[in-house]
Amino acid sequence: MYEVTSLTKNNMGEFKKLNALKDEFNRVNKDYFKIYNRLNSFQKFLLRKKVRLLKYNYEYIGYIWIGNTSKSNCEISAMNIIGHINEIEGFKNLLSILKPYSVLIYECEKKDCNFKVLEELGFKKHKGIIEMTNILNKVINIEIPIDISFEKLIRGKDEKLRCIIQNKIFEKNDRVPLNIDDIYYDEMQSYYYDDGAIFIKKGNCYIGYGQIIVKEGICYIVNFGILKEYHNNGYGKIFLTYLLNFIYNKRKNIVKIKVDSDNYNAVKLYKSLGFNEDKEVYKWSLDT
């Protein structure tokens, strides 16, 4: 018999065992105790109210942790079932407590058969992101046309230009355009690297932008793209090679990048320059 129960101080030990195995279903499941252990007593009490544990014949076999909620939507921060023969039925019992919300949202990394489980539960797969890594061990040789050059963004001068170019590159119906305050906010972050904010030019025309940021000593290439009217001319490969060589010459050898899973041309380009896939993460939704 299944029983869904609240998290209390009395069953905290059982939950710790389940949380420790969170990656078995989904490596994107958030670590509850990474947050919980930093909170004061009242905050801990509130966070405990967001967790439900699942018991089967008096044995704790799973849990669900409720994340951000709105009037109709609920994000699931983590969920898992451990060592139970009927995984689908276990998840259904956990999800049943979320019926007051009309849409459930869950982010999941592709692993073994977890996507099949979500599909059987009625979740629908949406936008996906592929995370890739490149280990640099030498300068990449490439011929750069005489009319192609690279220019560092100058703070206090080029923010509007960056804003315009990025909005053109990443223009989509469901994307909120950047404004100049977004650029200023980006420049204030600890990851921001002044020398890594770079434009690519063809003659006197700015045709793209790319950015190197640094987190915990690792370089990431973000906001990378070429204006649509200059696609299919090899400029993306030239620009990415320039950024990789820039990173290598700064004596960094690990670089990461993210790409939409349906952007097949970008994935092909990144792989051609030595990137390998680390993980593939999708957002899922369930109408209750």
Q: Give the DSSP letter of residue 278.
A: E
pLDDT value of residue 172: 83
| Residue 53 contacts residue 15 (beta carbons within 8 Å) | yes
* Beta-strand runs (E) in 70-204: 73-81, 103-109, 124-135, 148-152, 197-202
Q: Which token pair is 158? A: 């080029």
Q: How far apart are CA 175 and CA 156, in angstroms?
A: 26
When pLDDT is averaged across residues 191-201 and rounded to a whole number, the result is 97
In the structure encoding, which two tokens stand for residue 100, read together?
Answer: 């007051």
Average of pLDDT values for 67-86? 92
Q: What is the pLDDT of residues 133-177, one digit of tens each?
A: 999 999 999 999 999 999 999 999 999 999 999 999 999 867 789
Enumerate helices (H) and strands (E) in the chain, giving the number of each.
9, 12
Instruction: Supply the pLDDT for residue 111.
Output: 86
Task: Spell 260-274 as b/e; 16+ CB within 10 A means b.
Answer: eeeeeebbebbeebb
- Structure confidence at residue 71 (pLDDT): 86
Query: What pLDDT is recorded for position 84?
Result: 76
The whole-number average pLDDT for the span 45-64 is 96
Of 273, 147, 271, give the one whose Cα is nearest residue 200.
Answer: 147
pLDDT at site 194: 96
2-128 homologous superfamily: Gcn5-related N-acetyltransferase (GNAT) (3.40.630.30)
- Domain boundaries, given as residue ranges, for the chain: 2-128, 138-252
- Please provide the size of the chain in residues: 288
Query: Per residue in 2-14, pLDDT tens?
Result: 999 999 999 999 9
* Cβ burial, residue 168 (10 Å; 0-12/13-18/19+): middle
Tell me, yes or no, if the two domains 2-128 and 138-252 fold the same way: yes
CATH of 138-252, one of 3.20.20.150, 3.30.70.2860, 3.30.1330.30, 3.40.630.30: 3.40.630.30
Average pLDDT, the chain: 95
User: Could you tell me which of 227, 249, 236, 216 has the C-alpha nearest to residue 171?
Assistant: 227
pLDDT value at residue 227: 97
The 10 Å Cβ neighbour count of residue 81 is: 24
Alpha helical stretches, state H, 135-215: 159-169, 180-187
Q: How do strand 103-109 and strand 73-81 relate by DSSP bridges?
A: parallel
Query: 84-133 pLDDT, tens per residue?
Result: 778 999 999 999 999 889 999 999 999 888 999 999 999 999 989 999 99
Per-residue confidence at 63, pLDDT binned at 50, 70, 90? very high
C-beta separation of 54 from 44 below 8 A: no
What pLDDT, on a 0 to 100 scale, did the predictor assign at position 191? Answer: 97
Q: How far is CA 164 from CA 10, 171, 193, 212, in A?
A: 56, 10, 20, 19
Contact 24, 36 (CB under 8 A): no
What pTM did the predictor assign? 0.79
**Per-residue pLDDT for 258 more than 80?**
yes
User: Residue 85 has what pLDDT?
Assistant: 77
